[in-house]
């Protein structure tokens, strides 16, 4: 579905309560749409084709529960970004459009024992050091790590575990990564030579667009007990890393789209939009995509782990200290673009589902067996970065969210302006200088990226987070304020 397509369902948006909106089941829809929005966000989407995408997803076979979207919803490929949909593992489908091109684009949060004042005094050197150690920008590659075929297979199979075995981190890191940094069922044999060629020189690189490495600090705490368990206190220096599977993941998605389009015809799946091409989960094509997607997701976990290792080395070199002096520890690492086979309770019965989260975050509740033991009592950390001029947030999953959204919540602020519109608005402005006046240092590979990612291009992440907090599908814990940002 192109962004210019007719907006047939936009007028069907009905209020359920203060932050829930419904698209009634009509036509070929198999279920209704459910969108989480505050009043201040409704007008930004009321006439947007992303609402039609919510309705289109509701037409796919095997869908369980509503077709959902989080308050950071905006138009995407097939599924809306911010979209969540679960499909029965026996009768449902898998769709690359419900995962996205950047498979396991995700974010990790690191905390440290660094003193905020000391970091501020050395901020320029720290930012330049990170920029020197972590390649960033379109097509960025690194020379010191190039994966031969055997190493590539290991990365695709083992994810972040491969990095730990190579000395790029500790076993503790794995405890605090979703799926311990490795999704089972990966099939490296389904990752093409072209995808491998693209990925071989890019492991440990940031990329471009909305990917970033951000230095900040905790400037507000909403739940002291939970924050303390996460190791977050006021003025704690933090690092956020946002990137994914780079060219490898893009290539995997791109190559599977024609495969899935043909599978849709073969299995008689009626598509309201070709971008929703899909295959039954238990088909040859469905199993192949799931295996390739898991392999690309593992590459992304390894990518963020290698960037973390370089970040730690940069801090040690700049401040001339050892690891014990800064204790840059992983709080958590989450995937934003993924489809997961999970067991959920539906109408009193346990069902195995494939939950698509496209620009959405898994948010499991306290007591869930997939959580690290240290977080069992508080729920899964949820990391929600904002634009580079405002804030980011740390939340935790809830039991209500687990029941209502299959344990899913928002993933970021969500775009308000297209990249083209943002560049037009930023024309003749110096966004870097504007951020500097706010106390935020910026280092970027190109001015074009800075303009595309200007703060006004995004919704206010505070409004987005307030919606999921009020809805009870995630709970606010702390707010982070940026002081320096590295962009591709």
Q: What share of the chain is helix, strand, coil (3-state, %, to 5)?
A: 40, 25, 35
Angle at 25 between CA 22 and CA 30, to 5 degrees: 120
Residue 235 neighbours by CB distance under 10 Å: 10
pLDDT of residue 6: 43
The whole-angstrom separation of Cα 184 and Cα 341 is 10
Those residues whose C-beta lies under 8 Å from the C-beta of residue 7, and which sit 6 or more positions away, are 47, 48, 49, 51, 52
Residue-level pLDDT at 24: 97
Rounded CA-CA distance 407/12 in Å is 26
Protein fold of 10-96+104-487 = tRNA-splicing ligase RtcB (3.90.1860)
Selection from 39-53, 139-153, 226-240 with the highest mean pLDDT: 226-240
Within 359-470, strands assigned E span 361-362, 381-384, 392-397, 408-409, 441-444
Alpha-carbon distance of 408 to 360, in angstroms, equals 7
- CA angle centred on 349, ends 96 and 91, rounded to 5°: 35
Report the alpha-carbon distance of residue 156 to residue 458 in Å, rounded: 33
- Hey, what's the torsion of the CAs at 232, 386, 367, 349, to 10 degrees? 180
pLDDT tens, position by position, 269-283: 999 999 999 999 999
**What is the C-alpha to C-alpha distance for residues 306 and 197, in angstroms, rounded to an integer?**
19
Given a cut of 70, whether residue 103 has pLDDT beyond it is yes
> Do 450 and 482 contact (CB within 8 A), yes or no?
no
Lowest-confidence range among 1-5, 195-199, 437-441, 448-452?
Answer: 1-5
- Give the burial class of 12: count Cβ atoms within 10 A of its Cβ; 0-12 exposed, 13-18 middle, 19 or more buried: middle
In which band, very low, low, confident or very high, does the pLDDT at 3 lie, cut at 50, 70 and 90? low
Average pLDDT score over residue span 394-402? 98
pLDDT band of residue 53 (cuts 50, 70, 90) is very high
Per-residue confidence at 480, pLDDT binned at 50, 70, 90? very high
Mean pLDDT of the chain: 95
- In this prediction, residue 5 carries a pLDDT of 45
Q: What is the pLDDT of residue 4?
A: 46
Q: Which residues are catalytic?
A: 411
Burial of 350 (0-12, 13-18, 19+ CB in 10 A): exposed
Sign of CA dihedral 343, 344, 347, 350: positive
For residue 4, count CB atoms less than 10 angstroms from its CB and return exposed for 0-12, middle for 13-18, buried for 19 or more: exposed
pLDDT computed for residue 44 by the predictor: 85
Distance CA 392, CA 482 (A): 8
pLDDT recorded at residue 8? 55
Q: Tell me how far apart the alpha carbons of residues 170 and 309 are, in angstroms, rounded to a whole number.
A: 10
Asked if 336 contacts 384 with a C-beta cutoff of 8 angstroms, the reply is no
Residue 16: count of CB within 10 angstroms of its CB: 11
Residues 189, 193, 197, 202, CA torsion sign: negative
3-state secondary structure 355-378: EEEECCEECCCCCCCCCCHHHCCC
What's the average model confidence in pLDDT over 303-318? 96
The pLDDT value recorded for residue 2 is 53
Q: Among residues 425, 361, 419, which one has the least CA distance to residue 395?
A: 361
229, two tokens: 């368990």
Average pLDDT over residues 236-252: 98
């Amino acid at each position: 579905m192109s962004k210019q397509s007719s907006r047939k369902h936009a007028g069907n948006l009905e209020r359920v309560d203060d932050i829930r909106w419904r698209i009634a089941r009509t036509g070929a829809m198999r279920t209704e749409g459910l969108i989480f929005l505050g009043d201040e966000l409704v007008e930004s989407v009321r006439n947007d084709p992303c609402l039609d995408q919510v309705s289109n997803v509701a037409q796919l076979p095997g869908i369980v529960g509503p077709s959902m979207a989080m308050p950071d919803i905006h138009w995407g490929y097939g599924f809306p970004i911010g979209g969540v949909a679960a499909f029965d593992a026996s009768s449902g489908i898998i769709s690359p459009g419900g995962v996205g091109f950047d498979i396991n684009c995700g974010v990790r949060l690191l905390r440290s024992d660094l003193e905020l004042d000391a970091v501020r005094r050395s901020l320029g050197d720290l930012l330049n050091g990170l920029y020197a150690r972590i390649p960033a920008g379109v097509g960025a590659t690194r020379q010191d790590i190039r994966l031969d075929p055997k190493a590539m297979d290991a990365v695709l199979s083992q994810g972040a575990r491969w990095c730990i075995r190579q000395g790029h981190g500790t076993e503790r890191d794995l405890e605090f990564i979703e799926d311990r940094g490795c999704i089972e069922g990966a099939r490296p044999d389904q990752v093409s030579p072209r995808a491998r060629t693209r990925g071989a020189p890019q492991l440990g690189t940031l990329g471009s667009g909305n990917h970033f490495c951000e230095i900040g600090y905790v400037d507000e705490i909403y739940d002291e007990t939970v924050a303390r368990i996460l190791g977050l206190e006021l003025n704690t220096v933090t690092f956020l890393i946002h990137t994914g599977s780079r060219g490898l993941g893009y290539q995997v998605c791109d190559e599977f789209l024609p495969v899935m389009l043909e599978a849709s015809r073969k299995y008689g799946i009626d598509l309201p939009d070709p971008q929703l091409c899909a295959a039954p989960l238990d088909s040859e094509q469905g199993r192949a995509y799931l295996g390739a997607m898991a392999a690309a997701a593992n590459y992304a976990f390894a990518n963020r782990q290698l960037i973390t290792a370089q970040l730690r080395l940069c801090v040690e070199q700049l401040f001339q200290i050892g690891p014990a002096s800064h204790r840059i520890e992983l709080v958590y690492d989450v995937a934003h673009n993924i489809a997961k086979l999970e067991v959920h309770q539906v109408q009193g019965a346990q069902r195995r589902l494939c939950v698509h989260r496209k620009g959405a975050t898994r948010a499991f509740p306290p007591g869930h067996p997939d959580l690290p033991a240290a977080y069992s009592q508080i729920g899964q950390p949820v990391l929600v970065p904002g634009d580079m001029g405002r804030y980011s947030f740390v939340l935790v999953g809830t039991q209500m969210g687990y029941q209502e959204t299959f344990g899913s919540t928002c993933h970021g602020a969500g775009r308000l302006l297209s990249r083209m519109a943002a560049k037009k608005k930023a024309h003749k402005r110096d966004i870097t200088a504007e951020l500097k006046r706010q106390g935020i240092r910026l280092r970027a590979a190109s001015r074009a990226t800075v303009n595309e990612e200007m703060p006004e291009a995004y919704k206010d992440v505070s409004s987005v987070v307030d919606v999921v907090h009020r809805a009870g599908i995630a709970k606010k814990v702390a707010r982070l304020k940026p002081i320096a940002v590295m962009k591709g």
